[in-house]
Every structure is written in structure tokens, then in C-alpha cells.
């Protein structure tokens, strides 16, 4: 307990326990003791096995498969903490579920990313710490403070350590150009853009490549890799346009089937993701490289707890 009487308590859901343990290790604390189980009919049960009264509670959860169970588990953890008289509740969401449904692209569609935000607010969260949301506008779905982190510096440092020459950063579509340009500036590289069409969900068609990729080491950057259809088709198109080599990087490695098979049989040399979502140990290595964002989450949690700036952790232009 601090001199002010405040205390930090960090708990983990079941979706990404490995990340939560890594975060706690960097914070120099133990994860809190919570019981999470399921009834025979698959209803989720949560009970904190130690007092959280008056504590600043941080709940680490990732919306990975089964997505609906992961989200519901987080909501129940928030409700249990609120009813146990926690001083504040911060949801540390390493991957935000339903982030791709952030607007109406056709008539009679839902905006499910807003619905998830409403559910979290109703459950009783006070703050959110998130990593590389699909679109920044999702922050506006909350009335509570959202600390939006980015893994770009971690990814940029990794590729810088590879000492690649003649690098070109490639945006997989026009919607990711701003992020790709920021990444290109970090890497001191040129920029290219792929024009992508989507005839159906999880189906991608690359029609044009805008920019000079011939003879270059191309790094395709996206926020998430789901079935890997976009990135593998993009790699094929880049190689057909004369690229020397193709790497792919993204913050969130969802890897829904048949992602691993597509990546292994593709011309991609390496796919670099972070541990915001769990990647099975037997899938790491080979073409899949997983970087840890636990130190960044730990510093963000510490700064939020101490009422210090979080901007300096992810904004390269931030000046004290």
C-alpha cells in the first residue's frame, strides 16, 4: 500500500494469462487472486478471492476466440469489482473485440464496436487502456478516458535491428495509409499503397500497387491479421511487381484458420506480431515472430495509477 493509502491490484481474465503475468512481472507485483469458472450450461462465474475494497483495479483481458466469452468474462469481472467497492476500475484491453464493426458500411448494419463500449460503460469501467484500435474513432464511443497505446515503436525497433536495406513500407489499403506513413517515417523508408477490394468478409483482392516497390524489401503493415488472406495476396502482388522480399507486421495476430497454412505456403519471409493476442507456442518460430508489449502496458498502468502522462509512451512528438 502506498503512503497515500491507495493500492494497485491487477487481475487477469482467462483469455491471455501469459501477457497478464508478463505485465505483472514488469510492475513488480503478483496478479490478484480471482476465481473464474463456468457452470454446466456455460454461464461464467467470477469471484475475487481477496478484498478489492478501495483499490485501483486493473483488469487485463483480450477479446480472442471465443470472442463473446472473452468479452462477457471481462464485463462480469468489472461488475464483480464494482460491487466489491473497488475505488476505480480500468479495463486493460489488449485487443478490442468487434473493432472492425465501427461504422455502418451498408444499410441495416449494426455498429457493434459502439455496443461493446456501451456494455463496458454500463458494467462500470472508469478508464480504458487499449492497444492499436482498428480506428481511432472508437475512443469516441466512450465517455470515460481512453489511453490509446501503439505498438509501432516496438515493431519499428525490431525491423531496425534486422538492418534491412532499401526498405519500402506498404499499406494494405487506403484506410491504413496514415499509420503506414508514420511507420515509414520511424523506419526512414519509402511508402507504397495497395488498392484492395473486399467482395465478401475475410476475402481480399489486390487490384493495384501504388508506389515504387521493385528491388525493395517491402514491409506490409496492418493493425491485425485474421485469416491472412489480405497479406498473402498482397505479398504475391508485391513479388509480381518486382519486390526483392516481403515481410508482414501487425499488432494483433488473430490467425483464424487457415491463416497459418496460408502464411507457410506464401512468399512472405516473416510475419511479426505482438502478444496482445495469445499465439500457440508450437506456432511461434518459423515464419511467425511474436514480440512482447508487456513493458508498454506495465508503464501505462503505472502512469495511469500515478496520474502521470501516458502520451510520452507512444507519441514520438510529445515533449515534456
Mean pLDDT of the chain: 92
Q: Is residue 2 part of a domain?
A: no
Q: What is the pLDDT of residues 220-268, one digit of tens each?
A: 999 999 999 989 999 999 999 999 999 999 999 999 999 999 999 999 9
Residues 94 and 173 in one domain: no
Examine the pLDDT at 320 and tell me if it is beyond 50. no
DSSP string, 40-89: TT--EEEEESS--TT-EEEEEE---SSHHHHHHHHHHHHHHHHHTT-SEE
List Cβ<8 Å contacts ≥24 apart for 29-32. Answer: 32/57
DSSP string, 14-33: SS-HHHHHHHHHHHTSPPP-
Residues 144 and 180 in one domain: no
- How many distinct structural domains can be found in the chain? 2
pLDDT of res. 157: 94
For residue 319, count CB atoms less than 10 angstroms from its CB and return exposed for 0-12, middle for 13-18, buried for 19 or more.
exposed
pLDDT of res. 205: 65
Residues 98 and 184 in one domain: no
The catalytic site residues sit at 196
Residues 218 and 132 in one domain: no
Model confidence at 185, pLDDT cuts 50, 70, 90, reads very high
pLDDT of res. 276: 98
pLDDT of res. 6: 87
- Mean pLDDT over 80-107 rounds to 96
Burial of 252-264, coded b for 16+ CB within 10 Å and e otherwise, reads: bbbbeeebbebbb
**Other C-beta atoms within 10 Å of 149: how many?**
22
Task: Compute the distance between CA of residue 312 and CA of residue 320 in angstroms, rounded to an integer.
Answer: 8
- Mean pLDDT over 67-76 rounds to 98
Q: Is residue 73 part of a domain?
A: yes
Residues 118 and 182 in one domain: no
Examine the pLDDT at 86 and tell me if it is beyond 60. yes
Residues 12 and 145 in one domain: yes
Task: Name which of 214, 216, 220 is nearest 169 in CA terms.
Answer: 220
Q: Looking at residue 216, which CATH number applies to its domain?
A: 3.40.50.2020
DSSP string, 247-306: EEEEEEE---TTHHHHHHTSS-SEEEEEBTS---GGGSBTTEEEE--HHHHHHHHHHHHT
Q: Is residue 137 part of a domain?
A: yes
Residues 209 and 187 in one domain: yes
Examine the pLDDT at 3 and tell me if it is beyond 80. no
Domain containing 233 equals 152-291
- Mean pLDDT over 278-303 rounds to 95
Amino acid at each position: 500500500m502506498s503512503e497515500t493509502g491507495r493500492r494497485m491490484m491487477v487481475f487477469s481474465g482467462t483469455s491471455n494469462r501469459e501477457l497478464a503475468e508478463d505485465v505483472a512481472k514488469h510492475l513488480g507485483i503478483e496478479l490478484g487472486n480471482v476465481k473464474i469458472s463456468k457452470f454446466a450450461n456455460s454461464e461464467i462465474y467470477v469471484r475475487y478471492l481477496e478484498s478489492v475494497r478501495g483499490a485501483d483495479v486493473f483488469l487485463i483481458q483480450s477479446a480472442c476466440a471465443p470472442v463473446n466469452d472473452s468479452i462477457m468474462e471481462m464485463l462480469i469481472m468489472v461488475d464483480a469489482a464494482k460491487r466489491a467497492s473497488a475505488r476505480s476500475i480500468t479495463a486493460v484491453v489488449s485487443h478490442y473485440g468487434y473493432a472492425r464493426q465501427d461504422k455502418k458500411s451498408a444499410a441495416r448494419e449494426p455498429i457493434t464496436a459502439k455496443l461493446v463500449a456501451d456494455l463496458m460503460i454500463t458494467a462500470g469501467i472508469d478508464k480504458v487502456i487499449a492497444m492499436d484500435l482498428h480506428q481511432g474513432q472508437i475512443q469516441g464511443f466512450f465517455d470515460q478516458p481512453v489511453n490509446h497505446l501503439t505498438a509501432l515503436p516496438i515493431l519499428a525497433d525490431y525491423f531496425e535491428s534486422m538492418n534491412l536495406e532499401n526498405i519500402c513500407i506498404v499499406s494494405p489499403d487506403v484506410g491504413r495509409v496514415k499509420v503506414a506513413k508514420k511507420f515509414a517515417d520511424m523506419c526512414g523508408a519509402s511508402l507504397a499503397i495497395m488498392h484492395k477490394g473486399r467482395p465478401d468478409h475475410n476475402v481480399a483482392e489486390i487490384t493495384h500497387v501504388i508506389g515504387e516497390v521493385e528491388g525493395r524489401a517491402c514491409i506490409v503493415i496492418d493493425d491485425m491479421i485474421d485469416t491472412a488472406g489480405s497479406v498473402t495476396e498482397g505479398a504475391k502482388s508485391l513479388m509480381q511487381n518486382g519486390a526483392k522480399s516481403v515481410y508482414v507486421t501487425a499488432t494483433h495476430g488473430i490467425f483464424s484458420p487457415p491463416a497459418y497454412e496460408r502464411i507457410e505456403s506464401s512468399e512472405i519471409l516473416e510475419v511479426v506480431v505482438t502478444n496482445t493476442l495469445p499465439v500457440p507456442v508450437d506456432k511461434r518460430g518459423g515464419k511467425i515472430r511474436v514480440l512482447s508489449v508487456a513493458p508498454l502496458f506495465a508503464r501505462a498502468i503505472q502512469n495511469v495509477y500515478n496520474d502521470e502522462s501516458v502520451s510520452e509512451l507512444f507519441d514520438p512528438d510529445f515533449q515534456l
